[in-house]
């Protein structure tokens, strides 16, 4: 135990840079954090509950603060007990114990937990949890706008240039860049302006979350191929007519998406930026896991040697592959954000294998 204690003491002295958070850029007001079940079942563990059989209809009741919390606990309890030993479930019990002093989340503690949660949701919770308890120097959030510099740094988000969903994205891009988009060159100019804005505003990298929407394989294609697809979705008669009156969706082509991705990588490469890429498990219930396989990024590692690629979530369940990629490429870095909650055991095994290899 002597060596273990020495290592633990050393680790406990760290100041941490938290590389990936989705916290609000400014501390929420008390009224927006009104209920512990609503808060805890916003993401992650709720997916385990749904996989365990909780219906979406019942979930809507469980997260409704207007219903008595014990009544809601009775609704969710069978599924909670079935899933509580997953990584997601254990994180919530750790939170309950370390922040609120209660042994775990159960029928006997839920009322007291909710009371303590509401009491500690007032101003100052960021400082108490992030700074004092967790010793986080700063957390990195995907944010193109202002944020609290005491707690956060930002990575820019340009996915909407690669995979726009509808004309709301186009309007947003036009307003941010100050450009009326009427051709593909305008789109490229707006993208370059937005990139430069991120650089000048102090963004420390870019965040790519496109695996939720498409494959991470980005091929080379010509500007002409990309422009043809841009014209196809942007200038169709229906889009032009309805653009001004409603949120009209459209489907972009792969040539357009791939070209825009490489256009952005070219700028990142010139500026020797860090690029964070979501790989592996996709939050939510249902998606195409193969789209997030980190081996799909191999051509990027070769083509952009001056970009430091920060590979998110240790690529779980592709963590052994990520270890091999980091061994092969000096510009590939493993990021374990979220991994400790997805699977604590897999995270431990991966660390051992990476150190060994």
Q: Give pLDDT tens digits for 129-179.
A: 999 999 999 999 999 889 999 999 999 999 999 999 888 888 899 999 999
Instruction: Compute the average pLDDT of residues 305-331.
Output: 97
What pLDDT is attached to residue 244?
Answer: 54
Question: How confident is residue 31, by pLDDT bands cut at 50, 70 and 90?
Answer: low
Structure tokens at 204: 């420390």
For the cut 60, the answer to whether the pLDDT of residue 33 exceeds it is no
Please report, in angstroms and rounded to a whole number, the separation of the first and last CA atoms in the chain. 26
What pLDDT is attached to residue 351?
Answer: 96
Question: How confident is residue 89, by pLDDT bands cut at 50, 70 and 90?
Answer: very high
For the cut 60, the answer to whether the pLDDT of residue 246 exceeds it is no
What pLDDT is attached to residue 239?
Answer: 56
pTM of the model as a whole: 0.91
CA distance 238 to 232: 11
What pLDDT is attached to residue 245?
Answer: 52
Question: How confident is residue 29, by pLDDT bands cut at 50, 70 and 90?
Answer: low
CA distance 153 to 142: 9
CA-wise closest residue to 92 among 37, 139, 136, 55: 37
What pLDDT is attached to residue 82?
Answer: 97
Q: Are strands 332-334 and 274-277 parallel, antiparallel or unpaired?
A: unpaired
What pLDDT is attached to residue 247?
Answer: 59
Question: How confident is residue 236, by pLDDT bands cut at 50, 70 and 90?
Answer: confident
For the cut 90, the answer to whether the pLDDT of residue 342 exceeds it is yes
What pLDDT is attached to residue 124?
Answer: 85
For the chain, give the mean pLDDT.
92
Structure confidence by residue, pLDDT tens digits, 68-85:
999 999 999 999 999 999
Q: How far is CA 33 from CA 49, 153, 220, in A?
A: 21, 23, 46
Structure confidence by residue, pLDDT tens digits, 181-191:
999 999 999 99
Structure confidence by residue, pLDDT tens digits, 99-119:
999 999 999 999 999 999 988
For the cut 70, the answer to whether the pLDDT of residue 242 exceeds it is no
């Amino acid at each position: 135990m002597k060596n273990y204690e020495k290592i633990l003491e050393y680790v406990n002295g760290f100041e941490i840079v938290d590389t990936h958070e989705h916290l609000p850029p400014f501390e929420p007001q008390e009224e927006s954090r009104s209920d512990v079940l609503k808060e805890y079942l916003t993401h992650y563990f709720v997916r385990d509950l749904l996989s365990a059989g909780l219906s979406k209809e019942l979930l809507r009741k469980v997260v409704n603060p207007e219903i008595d919390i014990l009544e809601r606990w009775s609704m969710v309890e069978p599924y909670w007990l079935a899933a509580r030993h997953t990584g997601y479930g254990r994180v919530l019990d750790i939170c309950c114990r370390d922040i609120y002093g209660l042994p775990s989340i159960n029928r006997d503690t839920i009322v007291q937990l909710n009371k303590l949660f509401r009491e500690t949701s007032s101003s100052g919770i960021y400082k108490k949890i992030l700074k004092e308890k967790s010793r986080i120097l700063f957390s990195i959030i995907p944010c193109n706008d202002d944020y609290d510099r005491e707690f956060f740094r930002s990575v820019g988000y340009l996915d909407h240039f690669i995979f726009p969903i509808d004309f709301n994205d186009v309007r947003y891009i036009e307003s941010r860049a100050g450009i009326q988009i009427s051709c593909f060159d305008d789109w490229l100019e707006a993208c370059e302006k937005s990139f430069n804005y991120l650089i000048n505003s102090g963004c420390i990298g870019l965040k790519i979350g496109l695996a939720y929407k498409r494959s991470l394989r980005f091929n080379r294609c010509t500007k002409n191929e990309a422009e043809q697809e841009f014209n196809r979705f942007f200038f169709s008669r229906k889009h032009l007519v309805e653009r001004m009156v409603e949120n009209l969706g459209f489907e972009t082509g792969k040539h357009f998406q791939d070209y825009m991705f490489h256009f952005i990588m070219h700028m990142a490469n010139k500026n020797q930026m860090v690029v964070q890429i979501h790989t592996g498990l996709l939050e939510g219930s249902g998606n195409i896991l193969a789209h997030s396989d980190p081996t799909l990024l191999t051509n990027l590692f070769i083509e952009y040697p001056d970009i430091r690629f920060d590979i998110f979530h240790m690529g779980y369940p592709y963590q052994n592959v990520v270890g091999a990629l980091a061994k092969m490429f000096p510009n590939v870095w493993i990021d374990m954000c979220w991994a400790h909650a997805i699977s604590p055991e897999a995270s431990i095994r991966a660390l051992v294998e990476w150190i060994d290899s």
